[in-house]
Copies of this chain bind each other. A is one copy, B any other.
Amino acid sequence: MNLVAERNAIIDEAQMANAIRALAMDAVEAAKSGHPGMPMGMADAATVLFNRFVKIDPAQPNWPDRDRFVLSAGHGSMLLYALHHLLGFQDMSMDQLRRFRQFGSRTAGHPEFGHAAGIETTTGPLGQGIATAVGMAVAERMLNARFGGELVDHRTYVIAGDGCLMEGISHEAIDFAGHLGLGRLIVLWDDNQITIDGPTSLSTSLDQKARFAAAGWHVLAVDGHDRDAVAKAIADAQAEPRPSLIACRTIIGFGAPNKQGTSATHGAPLGKEEVAAARETLGWTHPPFEVPEAIVQAWRAIGARGTRARTEWQERLARSPQREEFVAHLAPPDAARLHAALADHRRRMRDEKPKIATRKASELALEVVNATIPNMVGGSADLTGSNNTRTKGMRPVTRSDFTGNYIHYGVREHGMAAAMNGISLHGGLRPYGGTFLAFADYCRPAIRLSALMGRSVIYVMTHDSIGLGEDGPTHQPVEHLASLRAIPNLNVFRPADAVEAAEAWELALTAAKTPSVLCLSRQDLPTLRRGNDDENMTLRGAYLLRDPGENRDLTLIATGSEVAIAVEAADKLSADGLKVAIVSAPCFELFAAQEAGYRSAVLGEAPRIGVEAAVALGWAEWLGPRSAFIGMEGFGASAPAGDLYSHFGITAERVAAEGWRLARKPGEERK
Interface residues of A (CB under 8 A from B): 31, 33-34, 74, 101-105, 108-110, 112, 122-126, 162-163, 166-172, 175-176, 178-179, 195-198, 202-208, 210-211, 213-216, 380, 382-386, 396, 399, 408-415, 438-439, 441-442, 444-445, 448-449, 451-452, 469-475, 478-480, 482-483, 485-489, 615-618, 620-621, 624-625, 632-635, 637-640, 643-644, 647
Report how far A207 CA is from B639 CA in the complex, Å.
38
For A481, the closest partner residue in chain B by CB is B486
9 A-B pairs closest in CB distance: A168-B168, A203-B410, A171-B171, A103-B639, A108-B638, A124-B474, A210-B214, A483-B483, A479-B486
How far is B125's CA from A413's CA once the two chains are assembled, in angstroms? 11
Shortest distance between the CB of A587 and any CB in chain B (Å): 15
User: Cα distance A638–B107 when bound, in Å?
Assistant: 8
A–B Cβ pairs within 8 angstroms, 21 of them = A33-B469, A74-B474, A109-B471, A110-B471, A112-B473, A112-B638, A123-B474, A124-B475, A166-B410, A166-B411, A167-B411, A168-B415, A178-B206, A210-B210, A211-B214, A211-B215, A213-B214, A441-B444, A482-B618, A486-B486, A488-B634
A414: B residues at CB distance < 8 A: 168
- Interface class of chain A by DSSP: loop
Assembly CA distance A382 to B196 (angstroms): 6
Distance of A302 from chain B, by nearest CB (Å): 27
Q: Are B470 and A101 in contact (CB under 8 A)?
A: yes
Q: How far is the CA of A503 from the CA of B414 in the complex (A)?
A: 36
Do residues A196 and B386 form an inter-chain contact, with CB atoms below 8 A? yes
- The answer to whether A197 and B384 touch across the interface, beta carbons within 8 angstroms, is yes
* Contact indicator B452/A635 (Cβ below 8 Å): yes
Residue of B nearest to A380 (CB): B197
* Nearest CB on B from A481, distance (A): 8
The answer to whether A472 and B171 have CB atoms under 8 Å apart is no
Question: A123-B474, A168-B169, A196-B386 known; 15 other A-B pairs, CB under 8 Å?
Answer: A108-B638, A109-B475, A124-B475, A163-B411, A166-B175, A166-B410, A167-B442, A168-B415, A195-B411, A441-B444, A452-B635, A483-B486, A483-B487, A617-B617, A620-B620
Provide the bound-state CA to CA distance between A50 and B124, in Å: 46
B475 in contact with A486 (CB, 8 Å): no
A110: which of B178, B445, B472, B621 is its contact (CB, 8 Å)?
Answer: B472
- How distant is A244 from chain B, measured CB to nearest CB, in Å? 16
A639 CA / B396 CA spacing, docked (Å): 45
A216 to B208, CA, bound (A): 11
Within the assembled complex, what's the spacing in Å between the Cα atoms of A123 and B640? 19
Chain B residue with Cβ nearest A198: B408
CB-based contact A195/B410 at 8 Å: yes
Docked pose: A469 CA to B485 CA in angstroms: 25
CB <8 Å contact, A411 and B126: yes
Measured in the bound complex, the distance between the Cα atoms of B74 and A386 in whole Å is 18
Which residue of B has the minimal Cβ distance to A195? B382
| Residue in contact with A470 in the complex, picked from B109, B112, B478, B640, CB distance below 8 Å | B109
Cβ–Cβ < 8 Å partners of A380 in chain B: 197
Q: How far is the CA of A302 from the CA of B198 in the complex (A)?
A: 47
Residues from chain B with a CB closer than 8 A to the CB of A122 are: 474
How far does the alpha carbon of A208 sit from the alpha carbon of B178 in the complex, in Å? 13
Contacts of A647 in B (CB 8 A): 103
Which of A412, A618, A620 is packed against the most chain B CB atoms within 10 Å? A618
A105 to B205, CA, bound (A): 44
Of chain B, the residue at the smallest CB distance from A487 is B479
CB-CB nearest in chain B for A383: B196
Q: Do the beta carbons of B112 and A408 come within 8 Å of each other?
A: no
Do A167 and B163 touch across chains, with their CB atoms under 8 A apart?
no
A451: chain B residues within 8 A (beta carbon): 635
Neighbouring B residues of A640 by C-beta, 8 Å: 101-103
* A633 surroundings in chain B (CB, below 8 A): 488
In angstroms, Cα B347 to Cα A245, docked, is 56
Q: Are B473 and A479 in contact (CB under 8 A)?
A: no
On whether the beta carbons of B215 and A213 are closer than 8 Å, the reply is no
Of the listed residues A197, A634, A640, the one surrounded by the most CB atoms of chain B closer than 10 A to its CB is A197
Are B617 and A486 closer than 8 Å at their CB atoms?
yes
- Bound-state CA distance A33–B468 (Å) is 11
